[in-house]
Amino acid sequence: MTMLDHILDLAALPASSIPAGSRRMARFSLYDWMICGVAGVREPVAERLRAVIGAEGGHPVADVIGGGRLPARAAALINGATSHALDYDDTHFSHVGHPSVGIYPAALAAGEEVDAAAADVADAFLLGAEASVRIGMGLGAVHYNRGFHQTATAGAFGATIAAGRLYGLDRAGMRAAIGLCATRASGLKSQFGTMGKPYNAGIAASNGVECAALARAGLTSADDGLEGPQGFVPTHSDAPVTENVWDDPPPGRFLFDTVKYKLHACCHGTHAVIEALAALKASPGLDPAQIMAIRLRTSPRWLKVCDIKAPRTGLEVKFSYAWLAGMILSGIPTATDTAYTDALAADPALAVLAGRVQVTGDAAVGDMEAVGEVVLADGRILPFAHDLAAPIPADLLEASLRAKGRGLLGERAEKLWSAVVGLDGLSARVLGAKMGAG
């Protein structure tokens, strides 16, 4: 079977075949996406997109976070960028992409347009997210390392599949939609630290709605836009991966189940070192004034992403190992987005501590790991390590996500949690209205 065959099978998977555990993770991601979206509504990128895209008008069928209704494609664009504005959303490390912000906006917008059930929106998201992870893995590390943002590239295919499922595309229509997405998907890591990064999530969602809608209208495309001649994979990866990508495919196993949620409002590639240094700081006898050096070993993948040596803005701080290490060791909270100010990037005391951070790429360190040591003035060397791959029990994960929601939105977060708990009794339009009211 080709990758496209697997994807088409996945897109048509009956809802009755979806495991309860995978469905639960998709709903955790729905909550995480909702709180991140509502919390990001006043971010400059969100306000500017609402002004520009909102001025275009059009048939109002889908809710926009922050109020108003627009065409599905426009709502998906705004909601995708808005929910990624804080960079506080979920990550899947198998391909290093943010599933929810590129796929849920497309699923919800399409679901509202056709008046689908909210539960069907969550299922469509899950299948689209699973497809994006598998496609991203097939593209291989070279795709991401070259500079492509998987949230926007592989994510656009996931958004297309989610929207196409809700639009009721048959196998031929889904094939056409994926082919159209192959010529539409785009997004670069050069945008990291700017408003262009959340915009990448928005264009993934928008592309998904557009390609699914065009296929529904009868547009044709390449027979195999993924792996066919001059298709997306051969043009966007010099070293695609074919082994293990489709071992035990759904419903046997959903790779999405290992999605990770952010409990710090910065790039997920930095979270392992944050957790490691936070644990070290909690130990007795560590005085930041006595730190002579912080030696961090991380996956080489992250060196072009999270190692901004001298951030100029609060946004760039979110991608700076040195500054984030300094924040943790200085007792500055990383879980609240309000901490990441431009003034923080110019803090001279923090700059001194950050200047003692030495970052080295080590191929033996996994994408979700951080390993290192802190050297003190008295000669002591304190090792640290953390691995984000360690599983979190479902009840603890729920508690952590709800605590994150309260930190972002206060009591409003509990109303959104109630919507997720009662999802089986809601329509997509009611769910959209709850989001839009943010």
- 232-264 pLDDT, tens digit each: 999 999 999 988 899 999 999 999 999 999 988
The answer to whether 282 and 318 are in contact (CB under 8 A) is no
Contact 122, 130 (CB under 8 A): no
- Reply yes or no on whether the pLDDT at 163 is more than 90: yes
Tell me what the mean pLDDT of segment 294-319 comes to. Answer: 94
- Whole-angstrom Cα distance, residue 40 to residue 383? 36
Q: How far is CA 62 from CA 72, 76, 85, 161, in A?
A: 5, 8, 20, 18
Task: Identify the CA nearest to 305 among candidates 318, 294, 293, 291.
Answer: 318
Listed by start position, the domains of the chain span: 3-260+409-436, 268-387
CA separation, residue 259 to residues 19, 90, 164, 254 (Å)? 15, 7, 23, 10
- Residue 288: predicted pLDDT: 86
Task: Answer whether the bond into residue 249 is a cis peptide, omega within 30°.
Answer: no
Greater confidence (213 vs 281) lies with 213
Q: What is the pTM of this model?
A: 0.88
Q: What is the CATH number of domain 268-387?
A: 3.30.1330.120
Beta 357-361 vs 369-376: how paired, if at all?
unpaired
Residue 67: predicted pLDDT = 94
d(CA 30, CA 398): 12
Q: Which residue has the higher pLDDT, 400 or 114?
A: 114
Mean pLDDT (the chain) is 95
Class of domain 3-260+409-436: mainly alpha
Backbone angles phi, psi at 144, to 5 degrees: -70, -45
Q: Are 381 and 374 in contact (CB under 8 A)?
A: yes
Q: Average pLDDT for residues 23-33, to the nearest whole number?
A: 98
